[in-house]
């Protein structure tokens, strides 16, 4: 005879409840945290690989448009996807998928050659089949001089991340009691009307070059700070980049989202505000 306290076997038990006496499984907080972090990492990887990635400006080669301490977003879809569209170049995608050629005048981030293996930002000057040359500081594109108009001097304050060591004595000045660097500035206008500003500090070896013919599948890139930029005017053996393969292009610069003069102390939060160059935030290309 069955015990009166034990329910008969033929009576259905409530769905979702463990049988009487079964151990209750406890959720693992560590496991939940790990699953969340893995999902977050996948989302960030997808976002950086296919939509936008941040990039910081480490040098003065793109003055006057970009200052050391600028942080910008680079869009990834404009020119298609390749190995270097992905963080750390992994997995290694051969060639390019959905590839499109950049336009002359675009500001792009690309991966340097093995001898200079890091991300770099420059401006597209020559496309496949173009001829490019510098003569007397004037850009010659496909045999025609690119118009170069003189503008008021470009002034950049001397700050912790742009000190006097980066400004030659002849360009140093004082304005409103503050030390500044004053550079000759010009506007170049490419065929089709695309224009941008460049610096020309005087006669240097970069002002007169051989005639370059851009090969298929490559682009010719230059820094806007024409006398202080390692770019396609110089071979890889001499510290430049030569012609840059299309598949090395990671994306197009679209907007500055933060800028700092380098005076902030990470342990003093109020200095984050005073160091921010607010007028530069939101600047597009």
pLDDT tens track for 233-283: 998 888 889 999 998 999 999 999 999 999 999 899 999 999 999 999 999
Domains of the chain: which residue ranges?
Answer: 52-280
Can you give the pTM of this predicted structure? 0.81
CATH of the domain spanning 52-280: 2.10.109.10
pLDDT at 37: 80
| Position 19 confidence tier, pLDDT thresholds 50, 70, 90 | low
Least confident of 33-47, 86-100, 127-141: 86-100
Strands 195-199 vs 119-126: parallel, antiparallel or unpaired:
unpaired
The CB-based long-range contact list for 88-91 (8 Å cut-off, 24+ gap) reads none
Q: At 118, is the pLDDT very low, low, confident or very high (cuts 50, 70, 90)?
A: confident
Of 76, 85, 122, 259, the catalytic one is 122
State which of 23-27, 191-195, 212-216, 240-244 shows the largest mean pLDDT: 212-216
Between 19 and 184, residue with greater pLDDT: 184
Six token digits for residue 23: 């151990």
Contact 226, 207 (CB under 8 A): yes
Looking at residue 24, what is its pLDDT? 55
- C-alpha–C-alpha distance, residues 130 and 174, integer Å: 43
Contact by Cβ (8 Å): 80, 247: no
Q: Among 30-39, 139-148, 187-196, 250-259, which is the least confidently predicted range? A: 30-39
- Predicted confidence at residue 102, as pLDDT, reads 94
State how far the Cα of 135 lies from the Cα of 197, in Å rounded to an integer. Answer: 18
Contact 62, 196 (CB under 8 A): no
Check if 178 is active-site: no
Whether 122 is catalytic: yes
Dump pLDDT digits (tens) for 146-177: 999 999 999 999 999 999 999 999 999 999 98
In this predicted structure, what is the pLDDT of residue 5?
A: 55
């Amino acid at each position: 005879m069955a015990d009166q306290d034990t329910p008969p076997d033929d009576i259905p038990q409530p769905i979702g409840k463990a049988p009487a006496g079964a151990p209750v499984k406890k959720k693992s907080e560590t496991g939940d945290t790990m699953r969340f972090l893995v999902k977050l990492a996948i989302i960030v990887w997808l976002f950086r690989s296919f939509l936008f990635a941040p990039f910081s400006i480490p040098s003065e080669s793109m003055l006057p448009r970009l200052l050391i301490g600028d942080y910008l977003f680079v869009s990834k879809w404009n020119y298609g996807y390749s190995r270097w569209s992905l963080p750390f170049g992994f997995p290694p995608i051969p060639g390019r998928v959905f590839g499109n050629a950049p336009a002359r005048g675009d500001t792009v981030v690309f991966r340097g050659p093995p001898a200079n293996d890091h991300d770099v930002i420059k401006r597209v000057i020559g496309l496949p089949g173009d001829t490019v040359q510098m003569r007397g500081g004037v850009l010659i594109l496909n045999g025609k001089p690119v118009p170069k108009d003189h503008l008021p001097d470009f002034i950049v304050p001397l700050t912790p991340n742009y000190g006097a060591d980066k400004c030659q004595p002849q360009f140093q000045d004082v304005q409103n009691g503050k030390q500044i660097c004053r550079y000759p500035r010009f506007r170049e206008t490419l065929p089709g009307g695309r224009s941008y500003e460049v610096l020309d500090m005087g006669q240097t070896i970069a002002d007169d070059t051989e005639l370059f013919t851009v090969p298929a599948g490559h682009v010719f890139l230059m820094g806007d700070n024409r006398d202080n930029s390692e770019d396609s005017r110089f071979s890889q053996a001499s510290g430049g980049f030569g012609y840059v393969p299309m598949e090395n292009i990671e994306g197009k610069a679209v907007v500055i989202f933060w800028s700092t003069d380098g005076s902030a102390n990470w342990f003093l939060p109020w200095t984050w505000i005073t160091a921010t160059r607010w007028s530069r935030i939101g600047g597009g290309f």
